[in-house]
A and B are shown apart, each in its own frame.
Chain A
Amino acid sequence: MASYKTNEFKGGLKIMLDGDPYTIVENEFVKPGKGQAFSRVKVRNLKTGRVVERTFKSGDSVEAADVHETDLQFLYYDGELWHFMDPSSFEQLTADEAVLGEASKWIKEQDLCSVTLYNGQPISIEAPSFVVLEIAETDPGLKGDTSGGGGKPATLETGAVVNVPLFVQTGELIKVDTRTGSYVSRAKDE
């Protein structure tokens, strides 16, 4: 089984800890002038997203995690599972709600998503940073309001709710930053 020594540690390296795949967020080399050297790492659990710290003795080795990232196209949601396809191999994979997490609020058919595969199975999925979605429902704004302060909630076609300016109306397309869940601008038909 592949493994990494502490001197191979760097940000982005995928390792196994306590049976779960982790990615190294930060690695710090710690060494007293006349003493034992250590690697102090911040690692993120790829399943839960939780970040923890670990300290290793320099020279120790850790099992490598069979993890890689790829872009998959979202095909459809069957009410229980989300179906994706690898656009180069046409291989299809499914993921459940736990894996989708926040991404389920933002993606629609044909969106290309960044997917982390562990032992060949998706363990986390990120929506594209920006998506264009249609407003399914929002209260009519006040006439004459062009921009101005404040805003109103709008329900999008995927069910997500974002705060939009008062002048934006039902049926319009808007661009949303999925990382913050915030309205960016109105979008022209594309």
Chain B
Amino acid sequence: MLQDLRAFFAARGVLEVETPLLSAAATTDPALASLSTHWSGSQQPSAQRLYLHTSPELPMKRLLAAGSGPIYQVCKVFRDGERGRRHHPEFSLLEWYRPGWELNALIDEVAELLRLLLDQPGLGLDVIGYQALFQTHLGIDPLAADLATLQASAKAAGRNGCTGLSSCEDLELDRDGWLDLLMSQCLEPRLGRAGLTVVRDYPPSQAALARLRPGSPSVAERFELYLDGMELANGFDELTDAAEQRARFNANLSARRAAGQPEPPLDEAFLAALAAGMPASAGVALGLDRLLMCALGADRIDAVLAFPVERA
């Protein structure tokens, strides 16, 4: 799989890069928890905390700002607290960036790559808006619906056979929490059943590092790709505005503070690179372990790992 993948990018003139796994800064995303370690030694008399990256996104964007052109990376990433049938605290990620590309072109390229890696030249691609997805299957507008509507929709879905939602009325969630619940329990299992499904144009509150597309309503230029009811990739039309980026980081930190989560240092080098100027780019991260699961028809991530963490 890695050979085919490298040949694919070599043929398209995308440069393979490596960025550090360890960083003094860490993601501020409240939905992600970083593992950390300590660096000590002759050059570093007092141990310094270093975080294992949850994705190579920020240093890769520094390379883009430095004029690297299109780049890709295959690396291990680390996420604390994630373990399950489809989750493992360390996993392999393929991440790549296309300066000057629109999101649609990148979506097509992801589909091309997957057809190659899965050896399914005829694999179809279906693109649906986040809003349309909720409207079609649940009859609600995810961009406009209030908390009570989302809660009622989850209850109704539970009554209609969505077993994961059969007793969700006690959950205390915010708007995005309810949307995530509906998406993961009710909608995701239906996606990618007849080819690839791409869901795009997320609510602005779930923009992460994506640019917002002005409009009424405004949406985030973000997509996720699904196959066999499983999320494989997440892509953005990348936010390049340093001030907006800093504001989002600070909002993340506030959310972390409110939730009692650690508040890691901001990646100032990345913010400086954005301020110096990063070309407009489309970027995507794709989980290679899950892709291997799809290729092999495995239903547990452990089936594609040599030694799962419990035996590592």
In angstroms, Cα B171 to Cα A57, docked, is 7
In angstroms, Cα B99 to Cα A44, docked, is 53
Picked from A29, A34, A53, A56, the residue with its CB within 8 Å of the CB of B83 is A29
Interface membership of A3, Cβ < 8 A? no
A54 and B82: CB pair below 8 A? no
Interface membership of A37, Cβ < 8 A? yes
Interface membership of A32, Cβ < 8 A? yes
B31 and A52: CB pair below 8 A? no
Q: What chain A residues lie within 8 Å of B166 (beta carbons)? A: 52-54
Picked from B86, B164, B180, the residue with its CB within 8 Å of the CB of A35 is B180
User: Interface digits, B20-58 against A, CB 8 Å rule (1 contact, 0 not)?
Assistant: 000000000101000000000000000000000000000
Interface membership of A89, Cβ < 8 A? no
Q: What chain B residues lie within 8 Å of A179 (beta carbons)? A: none
Q: What chain A residues lie within 8 Å of B231 (beta carbons)? A: 32-33
User: Interface digits, B160-204 against A, CB 8 Å rule (1 contact, 0 not)?
Assistant: 000111111001110011011101110010000000000000000
User: In the assembled complex, how far is the CB of residue A31 from the closest CB belonging to chain B, in whole angstroms?
Assistant: 6
B206 and A34: CB pair below 8 A? yes
A36 and B167: CB pair below 8 A? no
In angstroms, Cα B22 to Cα A34, docked, is 21
A36 and B84: CB pair below 8 A? no
In angstroms, Cα B168 to Cα A37, docked, is 14
In angstroms, Cα B81 to Cα A23, docked, is 23
How many residues of B are counted as interface, with CB atoms below 8 angstroms from the partner's CB atoms? 32
B185 and A55: CB pair below 8 A? yes
User: In the assembled complex, how far is the CB of residue B32 from the closest CB belonging to chain A, in whole angstroms?
Assistant: 8
Interface membership of A45, Cβ < 8 A? no
Picked from B165, B181, B188, the residue with its CB within 8 Å of the CB of A36 is B181
Picked from B82, B171, B172, B176, the residue with its CB within 8 Å of the CB of A29 is B82
Q: What chain B residues lie within 8 Å of A29 (beta carbons)? A: 82-87
In angstroms, Cα B81 to Cα A35, docked, is 13
Interface membership of A82, Cβ < 8 A? no
A40 and B164: CB pair below 8 A? yes
A28 and B84: CB pair below 8 A? yes
Q: What chain B residues lie within 8 Å of A32 (beta carbons)? A: 31, 180, 183-184, 188, 231
A36 and B82: CB pair below 8 A? no
B87 and A31: CB pair below 8 A? yes
In angstroms, Cα B82 to Cα A95, docked, is 43
Which residue of B has the minimal Cβ distance to A26? B85
Which residue of B has the minimal Cβ distance to A41? B164
User: In the assembled complex, how far is the CB of residue A41 from the closest CB belonging to chain B, in whole angstroms?
Assistant: 10
Q: What chain B residues lie within 8 Å of A40 (beta carbons)? A: 164, 185
Interface membership of A77, Cβ < 8 A? no
Q: What chain A residues lie within 8 Å of B176 (beta carbons)? A: 35-36
What are 29 inter-chain pairs, A to B, with CB distance below 8 A? A28-B84, A28-B85, A29-B85, A29-B86, A29-B87, A30-B184, A31-B84, A32-B31, A34-B31, A34-B208, A35-B31, A35-B179, A35-B180, A35-B206, A36-B173, A36-B180, A36-B181, A37-B82, A40-B164, A52-B167, A53-B164, A53-B166, A54-B166, A54-B167, A55-B164, A55-B165, A55-B167, A55-B171, A57-B173
Q: Which 5 A/B pairs are nearest by Cβ-Cβ distance?
A: A29-B84, A35-B180, A36-B180, A36-B177, A53-B163
Measured CB to CB, the residues of B under 8 A from A are: 29, 31, 81-87, 163-168, 171-173, 176-177, 179-181, 183-185, 188, 206, 208, 224, 231, 234
Measured CB to CB, the residues of A under 8 A from B are: 7, 28-38, 40, 52-58
Given A35-B206, A55-B181, 7 more A-B residue pairs with CB atoms under 8 Å apart are: A29-B84, A31-B84, A32-B31, A32-B183, A32-B188, A54-B166, A55-B185
